[in-house]
Amino acid sequence: MSKRHVIPILYILFLLLPIYWLVAMSFKTTGEILSGFSLFPQTWTFDNYKVIFTDPTWYWGYINSITYVTLNSIISVAVALPAAYAFSRYRFLGDKQLFFWLLTNRMAPAAVFALPFFQLYSAVGLFDTHIAVALAHCLFNIPLAVWILEGFMSGVPKELDETAYVDGYSFPRFFISIFLPAIKAGVGVTGFFCFMFSWVELLLAKTLTAVAAKPIAATMTKTASSAGYELGLLAAAGTLTIIPGAIVIYFVRNYIAKGFALGRV
């Protein structure tokens, strides 16, 4: 191991410390937390996790979050695929302006849209449903999905399309049986990004839900303010929110470097 590897090692330690503290806290009893500082849990307890897995307001939070995140990822990738294909293969009236306009939506602060979203989704009768959050998150996920997929698709030579048409493939059959497999890494990476940004967003998700579709992150804020400072419980809930992300990231680990370059390197 050479000297320069010290830098990434230190950086990873810095990344892991707060996470360690959160996990350690989740295994401590309330008594231990309140009695003072301790580096490791003195008496290990699973009580905090037990509360989460038995109380429906807690575990439904997880189910809600995962539901709308999955819905959003599927919608975003599905509609972004044909659009990205159009941007990567054709020139059409207003294509550049449209692409830029899509990207500007990623620049819009969520705080700007919070109240209008509440009114919009209440007006169409979707307030407090999973689909409302899934659709709202499309605002920033679809532009991103189009952007990433366009990068990957531009890397596929146009000759592939032409050969397929010469061989007598119809467009849908070509797209599904030839083109999609050619960019499956790109689809995976896009799905990952959509999952990531929908999973971590809270402001819109909280604004658009009340009870039935309330995300786990919102449940946590409620607990933090109403039930006093139940740090152990909060830490356990927080720890559990890291797990879905970690699982998803494990699946795309080999594409991650290229994926982060949005297919453009």
In the window 83-122, what residues touch another protein (CB under 8 A)? 83, 85-87, 89-93, 95, 98, 102, 104-117, 119-120
CA distances from 176 to 86, 155, 172 (A): 15, 17, 6
199 touching another protein, by CB under 8 A: yes
- The dihedral sign for the CA sequence 173, 179, 182, 184: negative
Q: Which is nearer to another protein, 19 or 212 (CB)?
A: 19
Q: Which is nearer to another protein, 46 or 260 (CB)?
A: 260
Residue 51 found at the interface with another protein (CB under 8 A): no
When asked if residue 52 is in the footprint of another protein (CB under 8 A), the reply is: no
Q: Output the six-digit token pair for 169.
A: 């493939």
DSSP sequence for 151-199 = HHHHTS-THHHHHHHHTT--HHHHIIIIIHHHTHHHHHHHHHHHHHHHH
The reply on whether position 248 binds another protein by CB under 8 A is: yes
On the CB side of 236, how many CA atoms lie within 13 Å of its CA? Answer: 21
State the minimum distance, in angstroms, from the CB of residue 87 to another protein.
8
Stretch of 46-54, 178-186, 252-260 contacting another protein, by CB under 8 A: 252-260
Stretch that binds another protein, among 8-16, 43-51, 52-60, 182-190 (CB under 8 A): 8-16
Place of tokens 């297919």: 263
Q: Does 166 bind another protein (CB under 8 A)?
A: no
Minimum CB–partner distance for residue 118 and another protein (Å): 9
Within residues 178-197, the interface with another protein by CB under 8 A covers: 196
In angstroms, give the least distance from the CB of 86 to another protein. 4
Shortest CB 12 distance to another protein, Å: 5
* Region binding another protein by CB under 8 A among candidate stretches 47-55, 182-190, 247-255: 247-255
- 142 to 12, 96, 154, 181, 252: CA distances (angstroms): 31, 16, 18, 21, 20
Binding residues for another protein, rule CB under 8 A, total 93
Pick from 213, 84, 73, 209: nearest CA to 140: 73
Whole-angstrom distance, CA of residue 218 vs CA of residue 111: 16
